[in-house]
Structure formats: C-alpha cells, structure tokens
Structure 1
Amino acid sequence: MKFPGKRKSKHYFPVNARDPLLQQIQPENESSVSWVVGIDQTLVDIEAKVDEAFIVRYGLSAGHSLVIEDDVAEALYQELVRNNLITHQFAGGTIGNTMHNYSVLADDRSVLLGVMCSNIEIGGYAYRYLCNTSSRTDLNYLQGVDGAIGRCFTLIGDSGERTFAISPGHMNKLRPESIPEAVIAGASALVLTSYLVRCKPGEPMPDATMKAIEYAKKHDVPVVLTLGTKYVIADNPAWWQEFLQEHVSILAMNEEEGEALTGFADPLSAANKALDWVDLVLCTAGPAGLYMAGFTEEEAKRKTQHPLLPGRSRSLTSLNSAARCVTRIALIRCAYIPISLPIWAAPRRS
C-alpha cells in the first residue's frame, strides 16, 4: 500500500536518530510519490445578509432548507451581487473539503475530480471556489460544464435566523469518460461519499463513480467511503451493506450513520459489525473521539496501554487490542481504539 504525504519529523513515532534538521537533506524519490484522489459534487457555500422581503420574494421558508431551480438560483445570486449582500463565498463539498484539508495538513498533492464552469467570471462563485482551494489540490482534471456548479445559499435575516437554498446546478454531470485511469492507478486511495450514487435518474455522476471504483479495484487502490447522513443510509441499509461488501475498503461514519447501517447504537459495536463488509472502519462519536476497527494477524496483536472508555462497549472489551491493521486476508479480527490526537503532535519530551 502506498502512503501519501510528507511525514514530518517526530509527528507520529518516536525517533532515536539525531535531529533530522541537522542531517543532510535527502532529495525526494519521485518514483515513490503518491497522492489521494477524490470525487465530489463541486459546491460553493454562499453566505449573505438579507431582509424578510428577500426570503418571501424567492418563495423560501424562513429557517428551513429548500432545493431551488437553476433559474431561481441564478436570479437570487445576481440580486445578491447587484446589491452587494454577499459576505462570504467558500469552496464546499464533503470530498472537496477533504482534499483541501489533506493537502494543507500533509503539504502534498491531492486530486479532485468533478465539474467546473467552463466560463469563469472573475470574482464569481466558481472563481472563489478555485481561489479558496489549496494550491496543492490538483484541479486540472475537473470536467467543464456549460452552466453553474452547485450552490448552497445561507441567507441570514435581520433576526439572525438562517434560511438555506440549495441549487444542484450541474454538479452531478460528471461523465465516466472524464475519470482518468492513470490518476487513480497511482493514488493511495480513492475517496467517495454516499451522495455520489444517489442522484436524479439520467444524471451521469453514479456511472462516473462506478467507473472510478472499477479503476481502483483494477489497480488495487483502496476505496474510501464516507456515509454522508443517516437519512441516506436509513432509506435502504441492506443496499448499502451490499455496496460496501462489493466495492469499499475503508468506511468512515459517525455513530448515527453507524446505527442506521448496522442497527447498533454503540459506536464500537457498529464498527465491529461493519467489518463484515469492509477492511477498516473509522467511527466518530462526538466528544468521545474516534473509534477505529480493523483486522490484524494473531502474532501482531498486543494489549493497548490506553484505558477503555467507561460504560461503553463492555461486550467488546476482549477485542481491546492494538496492532497495525491489514486487509481482511488476515485471520483475526480486533478493534483498535486510539486516543484522538492533533495531526501535528506535540514536540518530543526531553
């Protein structure tokens, strides 16, 4: 498995060698360079301050979220621009944000696949999307579309109440032929979200997603799936279980999504159940932090030095082992419960 990112000194493991800053700098081996690739519904988050009349004029419901048609979204956007009401325009989208954050934290390349407006107006929403994305995120493979990308409007009234208007635009128009096999073949992981396979009939995004999965499986690239929201999963959990078993290597979810998928409210039990379908599970549980579950060999297991969380997952305490996770070809199942730490860990103690 290829591990992307530039490992900073002393970030992850104790090092007995001299200070790497005093050692001769070694040039990077370009043949070993890898990256992370993700597919997203390219979306811009637009925030504006408006009055009640504005909300009524566009048929919105104060304090609620509605999907609006493209022509309504364009008229709404132009009025916001004309009256200088926009306060922020940010690049959004689950996977887009993930690629951006990865590139910022790892100081390394990520590749984003999706759509982008063929004609970009300086200062417009598409322009802001590009400007607010890390320069280490490769956007050269975005597919051009004649029209708008997704827009999510957050309209803040005089009382501070927020009203949301969502316009999908052409964000689901990514075609299978726009998926570059070579980019996926050289990646460390293909990162997806459940929203990509839940589109309107006739939209090509699900087919493009499946084409990317096909390339990933062909070149032994792990497929990572984040579940989105519990409502998407609860609609048909059996379908998602089959999808995971067939196509996904690594699953990321929160405890609510885990319950919708597995029927277990306890995050560790849900993660353990999800190992029936995937090789590695990440399950966030609010302030409790992150649960991680995977497979390892019998001889690689070792008892963790970290205390168990009180009152949770008592039925699985026997699985409280720590080891490097491997794919499911291993014989023994274990649950690994790490303590959530910052990406940039503390300096080495003297």
Structure 2
Amino acid sequence: MTTLDILGIGNAIVDVLARADDAFLVRHGMAKGGMALIGPEDAERIYADMGPGVESSGGSAANTCAAAAALGARVGYLGKVADDALGRVFRHDITAAGVHFPTPPLAGGAPTARCLILVTPDGQRTMNTFLGACVTFGERDLDPVAIAGAQVTYLEGYLFDPPDAQAAFRAAARIAHAAGRKVAITLSDPFCVERHRDAFRAFVRDEADILFANEAEIRALYHADSFEAATEAARQDVGLAVLTRSEQGSVILAGAERHAIAAAPTKVVDTTGAGDAYAAGFLAALTAGHPLPECGRWASIAAAEAISHFGARPQADLKALVGGGPKGVAAALG
C-alpha cells in the first residue's frame, strides 16, 4: 500500500542565512560557492561575525521534501535532530510544511546541526555546516514501514560522510526494492563526491534507480573531461539520470531517451536550495504520473522560484506556478 509519494532521508539542519561580501569569505578562508564541514569553534566564530540572519529548518533533502509537499505530494522525512531548542524549531518548521517527520530526537550528545550560509551580491551561496546530531543517523533511525510505503525514497548525498549513514542508505535501498519501490540519490556537492567517489559510484550503479546531480558533481563522479562524457557514463550506470546545468537548463536521460529542459527565466537573488527545489519539482511530477519532459518543466519552475528570493523554502504558490503556463510563470517570477 502506497502511503507516501516521497520519503526523504538526509541531514536535519537549521539554516542560518545572511548576506556577506567577498571580503567576508576571504577573511574566513571560504571557497566561494562550496560547502565546508566545520567544528563547533568555527561555527561560533563565523556566526559571531555574520550580519543579521534568517533561521529556518533546512538541509538539502528537507528542503526538497518541503517544496514537494507544497506541490501537493505526500511526503515524509527521516533525519536526526537533538532534543534542544533548534531541534524543536526544525521539527515545527518541517511539520508545518506538511511533511511527516517520525524520527525521534537524540537525547543527550551533540546539539542539532546548523548551516551558516553566506549569500554574496551575485547570488552565490557559501555554506559552512556543523553537523552535530546529524552524524548519529544510522539504520536504527530508518522507518521500514514508511520506506516500503513510499513510491520513491530520496537520499541526500551530504549524509554520505558518516559510515553509519552509508549503511543506512544501503539498508533503505534494500527495503525499498523489496517492496517494489524506487530509490533516488542526489550527489549534493562535488567535494562530497570526491571524498567518497568509489562508494558513490557503487551505490549509483548497484542501488539507485534515479540520480540527481549538477554538472560539477556528475563530472566529479566519473572524473569526466566534459559534461557529455559524464552523461554517457551516467546513462550506463543508472536507469534515470537528471542532470542540471544552472542557466543552461537540465538534461534528463532514461535509456535511449534524452530530454533537454530549458531553465525557467527569473532574476537570481539567492541560489540556496536551487537543486533541492529542482528535485522536488521533478519527483512531485514523477510520482503524480507525468511524463519526463513535464517532470523537467515542474523542476525548472520550482528551481526558478527558489532562486528568485532569499532562502531555500518556497514563497510563491508552486502549484499555481506549475499550472500557470510559461507566461504565468514569467509574470510570477519577475
């Protein structure tokens, strides 16, 4: 029995977003546009130097789940927070977004994770993540009934760092496939791919039915000299590959099929969550039974909405946007 369309599994993180100039990034030794894992001391130092910020529940897969719920999908999420103030903020926010969140909090131990996101004037986001309680996620935190009842279990590549989480991913894939369900994974970040390249390649080849990646991530996975070489390698490894290229749109590969999807026009304010929203649109359309080009259209619209404002969560009516046609989308997104 299908009880969910999408079940996300990822790092449960509270996002703190603030504007910053390039000098701030240089001062703290940050690689612009990347994601760095930091310890508690660095988290305190960067946070103290940040300007006014916006705090909300976040994490890549959680953002995808929230946007997919906004599109009308039935969505659940598994991720570990602590039994603390930020953990309660996360639980309230994601539940209020319409996402089922059954994972019990960590009692004692590390605090809830937080991601310090600096957005520069060009719209690029640079992320500094203190994982905290996230790293404790393991097989014991899986919900086998929810996984078996979800059309697609969607796995966040950022969670691939801890060995326990890798084991949980493989266990989740076994549960999903035993129930005749699909497994999707997003590569999340090229640096994350490089850290675990062999494990990622094995998972994509042996466990995944759907792969999400941007151009940098897919080229890192296959050490490919070009995007086209990477697409051919992905085509050999996975049944459905969904590859994004920022303003150049995206490419969907399914066996012999190849669909080029144009990016939806919008003014870029903050690129935080663009890939998360893209995956949300694609999976919401896919689990609703739409053909692949329509899934790509929903995905591009959701991504355009995400980058048209500050913060990763949708602020416009995504259902109206995907049903409004090109002119309606252009008007709504400016």
Which TM class, normalised by the smaller chain length? 0.5 to 0.7
Q: What does residue 232 of structure 1 align with? A: 192
Q: What does residue 132 of structure 1 align with? A: 93
The answer (yes or no) to whether the contact 2:80–2:137 under 8 Å persists in 1 is yes
Question: What is the one-letter code of the residue matched to 1:294?
Answer: A
Shift of 1:32: 5.5
The answer (yes or no) to whether the contact 1:259–1:265 under 8 Å persists in 2 is yes
- Tell me, in whole angstroms, the C-alpha distance in 1 between the residues paired with 2:180 and 2:79: 22
The answer (yes or no) to whether the contact 1:62–1:163 under 8 Å persists in 2 is no
- Tell me, in whole angstroms, the C-alpha distance in 2 between the residues paired with 1:45 and 1:238: 30
Q: What does residue 323 of structure 2 align with? A: 345
Question: What is the one-letter code of the residue matched to 1:130?
Answer: R
The answer (yes or no) to whether the contact 1:185–1:215 under 8 Å persists in 2 is yes
Shift of 1:132: 3.0
Q: What does residue 216 of structure 2 align with? A: 256
Identity %: 19
Question: What is the one-letter code of the residue matched to 1:117?
Answer: A
Question: What is the one-letter code of the residue matched to 1:109?
Answer: R
Q: What does residue 112 of structure 2 align with? A: 149
Q: What does residue 12 of structure 1 align with? A: none
Question: What is the one-letter code of the residue matched to 1:144?
Answer: L
Out of 15, 23, 29, the residue aligned to residue 45 of structure 1 is: 15
Shift of 1:238: 4.5
CA distance 1:145–1:35, shift in 2 (3 Å): farther
Q: What does residue 129 of structure 2 align with? A: 166
Question: What is the one-letter code of the residue matched to 1:152?
Answer: C
Report Cα offsets for 1:13-42 as digits up to 9, x if no partner. Answer: xxxxxxxxxxxxxxxxxx655321111111
- Tell me, in whole angstroms, the C-alpha distance in 1 between the residues paired with 2:157 and 2:211: 11
The answer (yes or no) to whether the contact 1:293–1:337 under 8 Å persists in 2 is no
- Tell me, in whole angstroms, the C-alpha distance in 2 between the residues paired with 1:236 and 1:209: 14
SS of structure 2 residue aligned to 1:189: strand
TM-score, normalisation: structure 2: 0.65
Backbone CA RMSD of aligned residues: 4.0
Question: What is the one-letter code of the residue matched to 1:273?
Answer: A
The answer (yes or no) to whether the contact 2:250–2:261 under 8 Å persists in 1 is no
Report Cα offsets for 1:280-312 as digits up to 9, x if no partner. Answer: 01011121211101137xxxx8x99x999xxxx
> How do 1:39-188 and structure 2 match up within 5 A?
39-47=9-17, 61-62=27-28, 64=30, 67-70=37-40, 73=43, 87-106=53-72, 108-118=73-83, 120-121=84-85, 125-133=86-94, 134-146=96-108, 147-154=110-117, 165-188=128-151
- Tell me, in whole angstroms, the C-alpha distance in 2 between the residues paired with 1:163 and 1:262: 24
Question: What is the one-letter code of the residue matched to 1:127?
Answer: R
CA distance 1:257–1:177, shift in 2 (3 Å): same
The answer (yes or no) to whether the contact 2:18–2:51 under 8 Å persists in 1 is yes
| Structure number, greater radius of gyration | 1
Shift of 1:253: 0.7
Q: What does residue 206 of structure 2 align with? A: 246
- Tell me, in whole angstroms, the C-alpha distance in 2 between the residues paired with 1:114 and 1:307: 31
TM-score, normalisation: structure 1: 0.62
The answer (yes or no) to whether the contact 1:89–1:128 under 8 Å persists in 2 is no
Report Cα offsets for 1:174-233 as digits up to 9, x if no partner. Answer: 13122111111110111112222222xxx6322222221221122122110111122233
- Tell me, in whole angstroms, the C-alpha distance in 1 between the residues paired with 2:195 and 2:115: 24
The answer (yes or no) to whether the contact 2:6–2:153 under 8 Å persists in 1 is yes
SS of structure 1 residue aligned to 2:88: helix
Shift of 1:163: 8.4
Question: What is the one-letter code of the residue matched to 1:141?
Answer: T
Matched residue count: 263
Which structure has more RCO (C-alpha within 8 Å, separation ≥ 6)?
A: 2
- Tell me, in whole angstroms, the C-alpha distance in 1 between the residues paired with 2:52 and 2:89: 12
Q: List alignment gaps of at least 5 residues for structure 2.
A: 263-285, 287-291, 302-320, 328-334
- Tell me, in whole angstroms, the C-alpha distance in 2 between the residues paired with 1:171 and 1:275: 32
The answer (yes or no) to whether the contact 1:112–1:137 under 8 Å persists in 2 is yes
Question: What is the one-letter code of the residue matched to 2:115?
Answer: C
Out of 170, 173, 190, the residue aligned to residue 213 of structure 1 is: 173
